[in-house]
């Protein structure tokens, strides 16, 4: 009999604590001063995490993280701007697609999905194409789990005077991002990732000097971050109906984040989870897709077993029956699956997950997770 919720081994939504769940049991009036105070507290706490009070503002937005990525491009990039997207995975491709749909000129610089994007290659491109106004990157490309080199990319952009837009959806609050050290025009994250809140809102850190010249650039009413910020600064309120329960859950999740020890402590826990996962899965014969040197401690991609009896759906259901939710692969050329290391879980849950995977292999009649040669 199932005695607890399924453990979500995904890049989000994530397993959350009971405290975070309980925070959503109260109803809130969106114009009420108590709720306005929660909004202000969350915004301050988010800026604390990146040490960004002097240089940036943070603008919350209703919807999933992708809404905020799209809103960032639409708000920050002028209509005659030219965005260079550094592409080494599925979410980079999504960023390029939404940039084009926002009517901005877009060039894609492709890299293999098992490699990091390259600051050297970026510099060479910028030396030959002066028309680029902005560079866009994914910090942790969860399609495969690659940790991309944010500091070196930011240095190249600063050197060439290009605006940098960073999708930090799956890295923010776990990996260090210090606005005093790394220069960016916009950085996007969301409630349901490494802060361990629930899905439903994103937030964008925008450089103050950049936001000041963004009025009228967005073609969207609902996703105009300039207007959202102006209204919030004036009234303390959201322009349109806010995700009240999501926000108060995030406030509670941030309180637990701070109690745990902030970003360094969260990174340490996720790193332990990742190491435990890889070690346990390798003992079952599974092979990680990425070289350890570029693996982010967020989500790990594994080669699928080479045995012809393997089917991901059956494998997934066998693991689910034992209380664990896995994630399908995002690669197109080879079959893989992914296992997340983040959320309100520790090494114990990871060890239990590995045991569940071992039993799932037995259910499928497989001797090991060894991939095809």
**239-248 tens-digit pLDDT:** 999 999 999 9
Residues 67 and 29 in one domain: yes
Residues 345 and 329 in one domain: yes
Residues 238 and 352 in one domain: no
For 76, phi and psi rounded to 5 degrees?
-85, -35
pTM (2 decimals)? 0.97
Which residue, 259, 282, 301, sits at the end of a domain? 259
Contact yes or no for 139/175 (Cβ under 8 A): yes
Q: Is 164 helix (H, G, I), strand (E, B) or coil?
A: strand
Residues 110 and 69 in one domain: yes
Residues 137 and 227 in one domain: yes
Residues 280 and 202 in one domain: no
The token duo for 11 is 């890049």
Task: Give pLDDT, residue 373.
Answer: 78
Task: Give pLDDT, residue 52.
Answer: 98
Question: For residue 307, what is the domain's CATH number?
Answer: 3.90.1150.10
- Quote the longest CA-to-CA distance of the chain: 63
Which residue, 212, 243, 259, sits at the end of a domain? 259
Name residues whose C-beta falls within 8 Å of residue 14's C-beta, 6 or more positions apart in sequence.
Answer: 8, 192, 193, 196, 340, 342, 343, 344
Residues 236 and 148 in one domain: yes
Question: For residue 27, what is the domain's CATH number?
Answer: 3.40.640.10
**305-361 tens-digit pLDDT:** 999 999 999 999 999 999 999 999 988 679 999 999 999 999 999 999 999 999 999
Helices marked H in the chain — which ranges? 18-22, 33-50, 65-76, 90-101, 119-128, 150-160, 208-211, 225-235, 244-260, 262-283, 312-320, 347-363
Residues 338 and 358 in one domain: yes
Contact yes or no for 190/65 (Cβ under 8 A): yes
Q: State which residues form the domain around 180.
A: 18-259
Task: Give pLDDT, residue 332.
Answer: 67
Residues 196 and 179 in one domain: yes
For 36, phi and psi rounded to 5 degrees?
-60, -40
Task: Give pLDDT, residue 1.
Answer: 43
Taking alpha carbons only, the member of 159, 169, 107 closest to residue 136 is 107
Low-confidence ranges of the chain (pLDDT < 50): 1
Q: Residue 270 domain-assigned? A: yes
Which residue, 214, 242, 259, sits at the end of a domain? 259
């Amino acid at each position: 009999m199932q005695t607890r919720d399924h453990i979500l081994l995904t890049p989000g939504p994530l397993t959350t604590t009971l405290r975070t769940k309980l925070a959503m049991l109260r109803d809130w009036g969106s114009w009420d001063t108590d709720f306005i105070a929660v909004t202000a507290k969350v915004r301050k706490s988010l800026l604390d995490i990146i040490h960004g009070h002097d240089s940036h503002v943070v603008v919350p937005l209703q919807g999933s993280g992708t809404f905020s990525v799209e809103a960032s491009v639409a708000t920050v990039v002028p209509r005659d701007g030219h965005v260079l997207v550094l592409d080494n995975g599925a979410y980079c491709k999504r960023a390029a697609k939404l940039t084009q749909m926002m009517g901005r000129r877009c060039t894609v610089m492709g890299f293999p999905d098992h490699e990091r994007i390259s600051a050297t290659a970026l510099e060479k491109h910028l030396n030959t194409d002066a028309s680029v106004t902005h560079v866009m990157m994914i910090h942790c490309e969860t399609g495969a789990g690659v940790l991309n080199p944010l500091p070196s990319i930011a240095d190249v952009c600063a050197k060439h005077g290009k605006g940098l837009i960073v999708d930090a959806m799956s890295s923010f609050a776990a990996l260090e991002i210090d606005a005093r050290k790394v220069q960016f025009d916009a950085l996007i994250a969301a409630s349901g990732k490494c802060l361990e809140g629930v899905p439903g809102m994103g937030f964008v850190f925008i450089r103050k000097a950049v936001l000041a010249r963004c009025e009228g650039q967005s073609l969207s009413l609902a996703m105009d971050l300039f207007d959202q910020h102006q209204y919030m600064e004036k009234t303390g309120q959201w322009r349109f109906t806010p995700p009240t329960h999501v926000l108060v859950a995030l406030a509670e999740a941030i309180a637990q984040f701070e109690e745990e020890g902030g970003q360094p402590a969260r990174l340490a826990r996720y790193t332990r989870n990742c190491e435990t996962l890889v070690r346990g899965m390798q003992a079952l014969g599974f092979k990680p897709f990425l070289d350890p040197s570029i693996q982010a401690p967020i989500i790990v991609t594994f080669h699928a077993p080479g045995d012809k009896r393997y089917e991901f759906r059956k494998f997934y259901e066998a693991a689910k029956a034992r209380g664990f939710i896995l994630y399908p692969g995002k690669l197109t050329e080879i079959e893989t699956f992914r296992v997340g290391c983040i959320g309100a879980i520790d090494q114990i849950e990871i060890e239990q997950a590995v045991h569940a995977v071992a039993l799932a292999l037995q259910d499928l009649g497989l001797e090991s997770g060894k991939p095809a040669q």
